[in-house]
Amino acid sequence: MKKALITGISGFAGSHLAELLVSRNIKVTGFLHPGHPATNVDFLKEKLSLQKCDILQKKEVQKLLKQSDFDYVFHLAAFSSPLESFIDPEKTVKNNVIGELNLLESLSNLKSKAKILIVGSAEEYGSPKTKSVNENTLLSPESPYAVSKVAQDLLGYQFFLHENLQIIRVRPFNHIGPRQSKSFVVSAYASQIAKLEKKGSGQMKVGNLNSWRDFTDVRDMVKAYLLALEIGISGEVYNLGSAKAYKIEDILNTLLSFTKAKIEIITDKSLIRKGDNKKIVCDYSKFKKQTGWQPRIPIFKTLFDTIEYERQILN
């Protein structure tokens, strides 16, 4: 039986990845931040080995890594909001960069043979001049979060080059679905609609409905993460996305079509991000050619499952 470590296992993508790995008969250990609840993986806890670990504490990381020899390491623990990174850039950069550095140095010291996934972001590309973005597009980060992701990305490459670690990097575009934080647009809208349904009507605050996103279902995305370590080439970087941009207004209208509640839409200027009108799509042809992966879950199903999840947690 293969053994995998997931840092940030209780997060959005981490919980879905844990679910996938368990279904594939892979033994899963997860690092949990001491201050974060394990709510997202409660339903799996009997099948997981959960360890409290602050990745900013190098000695903790080293101690726990010594306890097992992993085949796969998925590094998902990260401060994940571009908008909130402007509020506390120091926390964002420290958590994302130093946390990864502690993990990679520890794995290097242990001479780990694990395949290691470093998760970057489409935010690394900023506002490119071309609509379709491939791995050779110039990196041009526009937020503290994006800068931290570029640092994580290139730090992973450095450890591949000089420390003999089997590192594969991915740059996922937006992924959505059940369990996502309300600081992200689709889950925020789904949560508001679910709450207003209980009242029967009400006002809903929204930001820029004219922006666009390349959305992929998180359940498709975590399959790509696993394939990246199973089939991907160490040292390489891969874009992951749907190759299709969705207008936020259309996403909202689809979510509203799932309810009979009378909802008035109100624009809240505080929810509008600067430079939010860019329309870019992911060119994931490199990864598709390497692994055969492509998104399978229709956007309609993703949105329906997301609002159903928000309804369930209210009951």
Judgement on whether residues 115 and 157 belong to the same structural domain of the protein: yes
pLDDT confidence of residue 39: 84
Question: Rounded CA gap, 88 and 3, in Å?
Answer: 35
Mean of the per-residue pLDDT values for the chain?
Answer: 94
Judgement on whether residues 26 and 135 belong to the same structural domain of the protein: yes
Whether 118 is covered by a domain: the verdict is yes
pLDDT digit string, tens, across residues 180-239: 999 899 999 999 999 999 998 999 999 889 999 999 999 999 999 999 999 999 999 999
Whether 283 is covered by a domain: the verdict is no
Judgement on whether residues 165 and 203 belong to the same structural domain of the protein: no
Whether 289 is covered by a domain: the verdict is no
Whether 232 is covered by a domain: the verdict is yes
Residue 277 has pLDDT above 60, yes or no: no
CB 259 within 8 A of CB 104: no
Judgement on whether residues 12 and 82 belong to the same structural domain of the protein: yes
pLDDT digit string, tens, across residues 21-65: 999 999 999 999 888 777 899 999 899 999 999 999 999 999 999
Residue-range definition of the domain harbouring residue 102: 3-175+216-240
Mean pLDDT of the region 127-151: 95
The pTM score is 0.96
Judgement on whether residues 249 and 164 belong to the same structural domain of the protein: no
Judgement on whether residues 104 and 14 belong to the same structural domain of the protein: yes
Judgement on whether residues 169 and 259 belong to the same structural domain of the protein: no
pLDDT confidence of residue 274: 61
pLDDT digit string, tens, across residues 250-269: 999 999 999 999 999 999 88
Mean pLDDT of the region 264-278: 76
Nearest CA-CA partner of 222 in 266, 153, 258, 170 = 170
Judgement on whether residues 63 and 195 belong to the same structural domain of the protein: no
Measured in residues, the chain has a length of 315
pLDDT > 70 fraction of the chain, expressed in percent and rounded: 98
Q: Total structural domains in the chain?
A: 2
